[in-house]
Amino acid sequence: MQQPGRAAEIKANGIGKSFGSFRALDNLTLDIGRGEFLTLLGPSGSGKTTFLMILAGFVQPSEGRLFSDGADITDRPAEQRAAGMVFQGYALFPHMSVEQNIAFPLKVRKKSAAEIKQRVGEMVERVGLKGHEKKLPAQLSGGQQQRVALARALVFEPGVLLLDEPFSALDKSLRGQMQAEMKRLHQETGTTFVFVTHDQSEALALSSRVAIFNHGKLLQVGRPDEVYDRPANRFVAEFLGEINMLPVKGVKPVDNGATGLCEDRAVNMRCKAEAIKGDAILAIRPEHMSIAPEAASGENGIAATAVASTYLGAATKLDLTTRQGAKVTVSVPNEVAAAALSKGNSVWLTWPAEKGFLLPGGGQ
Amino acid sequence: MRGILSDRMGAALLMAPLLLFLVIAYAWPFLGVVKWSFTLPTPGLGQYGALVSDPLVQSVFIRTLRIAAIVTIVSVIAAYAITVVWVRGSPVQRVLAEFCILVPFWISVLTRAFGWVALLSNRGLINTWLQSIGFISEPLTLVRNEFGVVVGMSHFLIPFAVFPLASAMRSLDERVLLAARGLGSSRMRTFWTVFVPMTRSGIIGSAMIVFVFSLGFFVTPAILGGGRSVMIAELIYLRIFQSPDWGLGAAISVVLVVFVGTLMALLFRHVKPKQLV
């Protein structure tokens, strides 16, 4: 149906937006590749939705230029940009049937009745709404309304599809189903998808790249595994999932990474430490730490005492306190957690050198 | 539970004086009017028969319906334009629109009717001006006819037509309009295919209010119609106060009340009362 070549390539060049004295978006430069699935992730008020609205043409940037396939579209009104958009809450036309909703962008483009009928039919089938064509949006479930919104935004084969927190109103199981569906639609259409969410697991699961925003600034862009395993700063590290932060002293680069002192024990890191010297923060995800009776010499490890556990079914979340009072959380097999708690005395926390990464010490 | 109960009791107590007033001042006397319609001058259905066969009564009924229909169309269209500015305009436009909507409420209906006479009469402002610029040689007949009645009534009713429309426009989801534009629809097209259909309940409510009000208009048509465009309310007045024909006047009143009651019942099947304010 859609030629992958039709997907748009977007360049944002120094985009900024102020609402009065509020700086919603600051000096954003970002390339969105052809056919990419890019997620804009951040807490509310971080600027991600503002950027999406600027992409759609609903909000005019205060400065910077926006290019689509090389053409400057900064001043082009929304109705001429041909970006498909799925809104939070769907924004379906309440007085039109499913069929009429999906046909709307084609009617606007003055397609022939025969073509409209054929393409709406295809789209209805593709999103699994067959048999619901004549219904009004109010007669549909949340998931079905979502499908109508997707079909309406994709039927005119836009170069880019913009999605503003489309799943926020759905319950958890339906959300998983719709995520899978959206991934399939992305592959089938080959269109560039730009997706806004504040749910980090959704972002990691769906995207080819994730862009993380906070306070109007773009903090990091990268593949899900890059931003998760190698966050650029503390905010990104914490926003993408639970993480342990341990102070390290005397960090210095070595051949294959860096080394430093954590709780008076030498620890090794695989990451490069050009920018980070002296005191820093060592960050390790809970699932990358294990519990051991002792740490071999040369192995990364610190001593700690288990204080509490939370049973999660497949695993147990165990809270520990290190000798120097740092709080650490690990995700371990249930029986390991039980054993560590019952012992009541010190255990060792160990982790592979490549799973720990350094962040600048202090506030950042 | 107790909270709800006491709330209801409280509401009932607060409403009671109004209900009592309506019963004493309207419902009870109206029952008297109903009684007259069946008993004066002689008991029976004679007055209703006369009402059907009297060509004068019929022509007044038809004129009333026609004027009410025209006034409704004129008022709703004008009110729609004003409301769009009031609800969606810039802050300055909103204040101006609000001023234009509220000021008429402070001026008596009588004053406004005479104001229109001053504007529209043969030697009124409009005719004088049109003659002075040489656009017309003889004055246009703008008043003491249906045209004058329609102008005066629309002027009075437009502010009432605004409120149901404003309620509908305010409850409209802004994102739906953005969605239409994002899908490629021009502002004009979005207005006609999305905005107007989505304010349908407001249009219905607004039209019904204006229509029902129009049917019972008395002062404005009496002054601006100059006795030539008599409407139902004026006919009832003439029958009761000028010709001693209380029975026929009462019968016309009953028919008017039943007709308006039916319209209101139809209206509330489509629109909730809270959508009208």
* B60 and B17 belong to one structural domain: no
* B9 and B50 belong to one structural domain: no
* B9 and B75 belong to one structural domain: no
Model confidence at B2: pLDDT above 70: no
Query: Using a CB-CB distance cutoff of 8 angstroms, which residues of chain A are in contact with residue B185?
Result: 79, 104-105, 108
Q: Decide: A305 and A347 in contact? Cβ < 8 Å.
A: yes
Contact A78 B194 (CB under 8 A): no
- H helix runs in A127-254, sequence order: 142-154, 172-189, 200-206, 224-229, 234-239
Model confidence at A340: pLDDT above 90: no
Region A102-123: mean pLDDT is 94
| Facing A91 at nearest CB: one of B173, B185, B189 | B173
Q: Decide: A228 and A280 in contact? Cβ < 8 Å.
A: no
| Facing A95 at nearest CB: one of B179, B186, B198 | B198
- Tens of pLDDT along A283-329? 899 999 988 887 777 788 898 888 888 888 888 889 999 988 889 99
Q: What is the value of pTM for the model shown? A: 0.80
- Tens of pLDDT along B224-238? 888 778 888 888 888
pLDDT band at A1 (very low <50, low <70, confident <90, very high): very low
The pLDDT, as a whole number, for residue A48 is 93
* B142 and B250 belong to one structural domain: yes
Identify which of A344, A338, A320, A270 has the alpha carbon closest to the alpha carbon of residue A300: A270
* DSSP output for A184-201: HHHHHH--EEEEEES-HH
**What part of B 170-199 touches A (C-beta under 8 Å)?**
173, 175-176, 178-187, 189, 193-194, 197-198
Region B71-100: mean pLDDT is 94
The pLDDT, as a whole number, for residue A147 is 92
Rama region for A257: left / alpha / beta (φ>0; ψ in -120 to 50; rest): left
Contact B184 A85 (CB under 8 A): no
**Bridge partners, residue A211, by sequence:** A40, A221
Taking CA–CA distances from A88, the nearest residue in chain B reads B175
Exposure string for B150-186, b = 16+ CB within 10 A, e = fewer: bbbbbbbbbbbbbbbbbbbbeebeebbbbbbbbbbbe
* B203 and B129 belong to one structural domain: yes
* B1 and B78 belong to one structural domain: no
Contact B181 A79 (CB under 8 A): yes
The pLDDT, as a whole number, for residue B268 is 82
Tell me how far apart the alpha carbons of residues B256 and B262 are, in angstroms, rounded to a whole number.
10
B200 touches chain A (CB under 8 A): yes
Q: Which of B172, B175, B176, B183 to mutate to test the interface with A (most CBs of A within 10 A)?
A: B183
| Facing A109 at nearest CB: one of B180, B184, B193 | B184
H/E stretch holding A32 reads strand A22-32
Please state, as a whole number, how many other Cβ atoms lie within 10 Å of the Cβ of residue A336: 17
Tell me how far apart the alpha carbons of residues A202 and B1 are, in angstroms, rounded to a whole number.
43
Q: Quote the domain boundaries for residue B20.
A: 1-39
Greater confidence, B245 or B163? B163
Region A240-267: mean pLDDT is 86
The pLDDT, as a whole number, for residue A136 is 95
- 3 state SS of A60: coil
* B15 and B79 belong to one structural domain: no
Query: Which amino acid, residue A190?
Result: G
- 3 state SS of B111: helix
* B4 and B72 belong to one structural domain: no
Q: Which residue has the tokens 């390339």?
A: A31
Could you tell me the maximum CA-CA distance found in chain A, to the nearest angstrom?
77
Contact B182 A88 (CB under 8 A): no
Q: Decide: A66 and A76 in contact? Cβ < 8 Å.
A: no
Tell me how far apart the alpha carbons of residues B181 and B191 are, in angstroms, rounded to a whole number.
10
pLDDT band at A231 (very low <50, low <70, confident <90, very high): confident
- Tens of pLDDT along A185-210? 999 999 999 999 988 888 998 999 99
- Give me the phi and psi of A254, to 5 degrees please: -130, 180
Tell me how far apart the alpha carbons of residues B150 and B147 are, in angstroms, rounded to a whole number.
5
Peptide bond preceding B41: is omega within 30 degrees of 0, i.e. cis?
yes
The pLDDT, as a whole number, for residue B277 is 62
* B203 and B238 belong to one structural domain: yes
pLDDT band at A274 (very low <50, low <70, confident <90, very high): low
Chain B: closest CA distance from residue A275 (Å) = 44
- The answer to whether the complex's ipTM is over 0.90 is no
| Facing B183 at nearest CB: one of A58, A88, A104 | A104
- H helix runs in chain A, sequence order: 48-56, 98-108, 113-126, 142-154, 172-189, 200-206, 224-229, 234-239, 334-343
Q: Residue A284, CB half-sphere, CA atoms under 13 Å: how many?
A: 30
Taking CA–CA distances from B201, the nearest residue in chain A reads A95
The total domain count for chain B is 2
Tell me how far apart the alpha carbons of residues A211 and A223 are, in angstroms, rounded to a whole number.
9
For residue A229, what are its two tokens?
């395993």
Region A153-178: mean pLDDT is 88
Query: Using a CB-CB distance cutoff of 8 angstroms, which residues of chain A are in contact with residue B189?
Result: 108
Region A219-236: mean pLDDT is 91
* DSSP output for A91-126: ---TTS-HHHHHHHHHHHTT--HHHHHHHHHHHHHH
Report percent pLDDT > 70 for chain A: 96
- Tens of pLDDT along A7-29? 899 999 999 999 989 999 999 99
Contact B175 A87 (CB under 8 A): yes
Tell me how far apart the alpha carbons of residues A230 and A119 are, in angstroms, rounded to a whole number.
44
Rama region for A327: left / alpha / beta (φ>0; ψ in -120 to 50; rest): beta
Chain A, chain B: beta-carbon pairs less than 8 Å apart: 68
* B29 and B51 belong to one structural domain: no
Contact B182 A92 (CB under 8 A): no
The pLDDT, as a whole number, for residue B269 is 81
Region A146-175: mean pLDDT is 90
Q: How deeply is A40 buried, as exposed, middle or buried, from its count of CB atoms within 10 A (0-12, 13-18, 19+)?
A: buried
The pLDDT, as a whole number, for residue A362 is 56
Query: Using a CB-CB distance cutoff of 8 angstroms, which residues of chain A are in contact with residue B173?
Result: 89, 91
Q: Decide: A220 and A233 in contact? Cβ < 8 Å.
A: yes
Chain A: closest CA distance from residue B266 (Å) = 21
Taking CA–CA distances from B184, the nearest residue in chain A reads A79
Chain B: closest CA distance from residue A165 (Å) = 13
Mean pLDDT of chain B: 88
Which CA distances in Å does B137 have to B124, B130, B140? Answer: 14, 8, 9
| Facing B175 at nearest CB: one of A83, A89, A162 | A89
Query: Using a CB-CB distance cutoff of 8 angstroms, which residues of chain B are in contact with residue A58?
Result: 178, 181-182
Query: Using a CB-CB distance cutoff of 8 angstroms, which residues of chain A are in contact with residue B194?
Result: 93
Chain B: closest CA distance from residue A8 (Å) = 16
Torsion of CA B96, B97, B103, B105, to 10 degrees: -160
Total number of residues shown for chain B: 277
Contact B183 A153 (CB under 8 A): yes
Which CA distances in Å does B67 have to A143, B61, B146, B165, B201? Answer: 50, 10, 7, 22, 23
* B90 and B108 belong to one structural domain: yes
The pLDDT, as a whole number, for residue A3 is 43
Q: Which residue has the tokens 């890019």?
A: A38
- Tens of pLDDT along B30-66? 999 899 888 877 888 888 888 888 888 899 999 999 9
Region A108-135: mean pLDDT is 93
Q: How deeply is A212 buried, as exposed, middle or buried, from its count of CB atoms within 10 A (0-12, 13-18, 19+)?
A: buried
Query: Using a CB-CB distance cutoff of 8 angstroms, which residues of chain A are in contact with residue B202?
Result: none
- Tens of pLDDT along B112-167? 888 998 899 888 888 889 888 888 888 888 888 889 999 999 999 999 999 999 99
Contact B186 A78 (CB under 8 A): no
DSSP state of B193: I
Q: How far, rounded to the nearest angstrom, does the alpha carbon of residue A247 sit from its chain's CA centroid? A: 27
Which CA distances in Å does A43 have to A87, A165, A216, A243, B110? Answer: 18, 12, 10, 17, 60
Identify which of A154, A227, A160 has the alpha carbon closest to the alpha carbon of residue A194: A160
pLDDT band at A4 (very low <50, low <70, confident <90, very high): very low
Query: Which amino acid, residue A143?
Result: G
The pLDDT, as a whole number, for residue B3 is 55
- H helix runs in chain B, sequence order: 2-22, 28-39, 46-53, 55-88, 91-102, 109-120, 125-132, 146-170, 174-182, 187-190, 196-198, 200-215, 219-224, 232-237, 246-270
CATH value at residue B265: 1.10.3720.10
The pLDDT, as a whole number, for residue A5 is 45
For residue B76, what are its two tokens?
């709703």
Contact A91 B186 (CB under 8 A): no
Contact B185 A79 (CB under 8 A): yes
B270 touches chain A (CB under 8 A): no
* B33 and B50 belong to one structural domain: no
The pLDDT, as a whole number, for residue B230 is 85
Q: How far, rounded to the nearest angstrom, does the alpha carbon of residue B193 sit from its chain's CA centroid? A: 27
Mean pLDDT of chain A: 88
Query: Using a CB-CB distance cutoff of 8 angstroms, which residues of chain B are in contact with residue A93?
Result: 176, 179-180, 194, 198
